[in-house]
Structure 1
């Protein structure tokens, strides 16, 4: 079963359990992915995050019941779809449909709001891209990184700010490899909520006496005395992709990875991170000739 089929299996599982509590974490466990890569792959294949798909499908079926079961109370319908309380039900309605359950029942809307019907295999995303370079499979040993950690919500400029902060504090990292090797590490934390992704903008460290503590996110992580986070990535096998062009355009390469390449494979991505490396061919974020490297972990060594 390739990854595209596996995402379809996850969708079937959602559809069979719309009346039950559903979490993104339980779905990632069901499919055998880390939550980080399950979210990325689900969105690459469907165009929606799994949390958004679950919410929109529950609300869509609730609308059917509001219109088709006039004797059933709005509170009971909200409980039918496992909303923890009526207020949450109403807030979700407003967020997704820009209306309320009572207005739907009263038919005060000039037209029925846009609903999400069950996705079938032929509905899944078919990205068109001219990306032609196949990835390499590489093995890397342990990598220690130190840098500025930020949580991204809706403002991507926070990443640029983190890089500037790192540049200003570079001389305060005595154990850094010289010449410097720069990385951008990304992952969703275990307490995933909405689309909050955590980034570490950092440089590679030499072997040192520093001993990280256990972390739920990566095998080892801690705060350093310099108020910069240190992460240790485990020895692992990776798929190495190249992004050619400006850093602002790298999302197209990620769309290829998660929307085109990985769905056709049977790789099970169980490690909760990925990273970009900026080596000798990286000529700066705005240079169209820059080449940055994207590493997707596929297994521990």
Structure 2
């Protein structure tokens, strides 16, 4: 059993016992390693200490229950995850998410909570590059996109269907930049946990500031059927995803669950986007590289 498999065994044990008291010492005994060696090994594979992983997973699942079960008391939910008292539950919330259970329930958060979703073996297999390639900070001006919009709940096939529709209707976007520059924009609202995340699969437009009043042969130069989204000038963290598009969820788990919580960034802009440039070789090509942009502040 290699190190990654060993840590995956520990993670599965944590996931099976999220509703029970868990200690790092008990995990080290479970794996047969000294506590010192186990902590170093766990952090080397995941980027998190085992104690942080346990706390983040418990809080992430508690957030899900707070939003999905509005009739349950916050105290009962805290007890579900074996917090010794409600004050400890609230302190852990504030430390990890910079908010409170009450604010989560009332959806009064101005920032996106940085949650850690369950890790699987294939996630860890794809994290090696993420540990070694730091993101770049870039400033971008206004970006206007036009394309096909869908809402993602549980069926990821809606994304590929949106791209297929975009290809078939590309000629209806006469103001697209040439050669085309393709993006996938993800947007969330306060109720995204219940109603899903909106995605726009589209291409970048030329400066269309004055096109609303222009027409050709009585028709608008901008297709009225495909929505247009304007992203404000902003500062971004630019990450790279290497590999198939279907595996990009592992990269997002690393960004939101591991990297960003270690920083002082607060995500106040409710979107992210992927850009497919010259190094993108297609969704199924394992040598493909796409770019992920996470806005960290307005300019």
TM-score by length of 2: 0.59
Deviation at 1:268, TM superposition (A): 1.2
Is 2:263 the counterpart of 1:265? yes
Is the 8 Å Cα contact of residues 45 and 259 (structure 1) preserved in structure 2?
no
Deviation at 1:135, TM superposition (A): 0.3
Over 6 Å off, 4+ runs: 42-45
Q: SS state of the match for residue 206, structure 2?
A: coil
**Which stretch shows the higher mean deviation, 247-256 or 190-199?**
190-199
Select the structure with the greater relative contact order (CA < 8 A; seq sep ≥ 6).
Answer: 1
Q: Deviations over 1:189-209 (max 9, x none)?
A: 355451510000000000122
Is the 8 Å Cα contact of residues 58 and 81 (structure 2) preserved in structure 1?
no
Q: Which runs of 5+ in 2 are unaligned?
A: 1-54, 84-88, 97-114, 214-221
Bigger fraction of residues in helix: 2
**Which stretch shows the higher mean deviation, 182-191 or 244-253?**
182-191
Deviation at 1:153, TM superposition (A): 1.1
* Partner residue, 2:175: 175
Q: SS state of the match for residue 261, structure 2?
A: helix
Q: SS state of the match for residue 253, structure 1?
A: helix
* Partner residue, 1:297: 295
* Partner residue, 1:237: 235
Is the 8 Å Cα contact of residues 45 and 258 (structure 1) preserved in structure 2?
no
What aligned pairs does 1:107-186 form with structure 2 within 5 A after superposition?
115-118=80-83, 129-130=127-128, 131=130, 132-186=132-186
Is the 8 Å Cα contact of residues 151 and 197 (structure 1) preserved in structure 2?
yes
TM-score by length of 1: 0.59
Q: Deviations over 1:151-202 (max 9, x none)?
A: 1111110010000000000011100000000000001135545151000000
Aligned-pair Cα RMSD in Å? 3.3
The count of corresponding residues between Structure 1 and Structure 2 is: 200
Q: Deviations over 1:38-72 (max 9, x none)?
A: xxxx98894437343455693685599xxxxxxxx
* Partner residue, 2:225: 227
* Partner residue, 1:48: 61
* Partner residue, 2:204: 204
**Which stretch shows the higher mean deviation, 235-244 or 49-58?**
49-58
Are residues 195 and 180 of structure 1, via their aligned partners in 2, closer, same or farther at CA, if it must alter by over 3 Å? Answer: same
Is the 8 Å Cα contact of residues 44 and 258 (structure 1) preserved in structure 2?
no
* Partner residue, 1:221: none
Are residues 161 and 45 of structure 1, via their aligned partners in 2, closer, same or farther at CA, if it must alter by over 3 Å? Answer: farther
Is the 8 Å Cα contact of residues 43 and 49 (structure 1) preserved in structure 2?
no
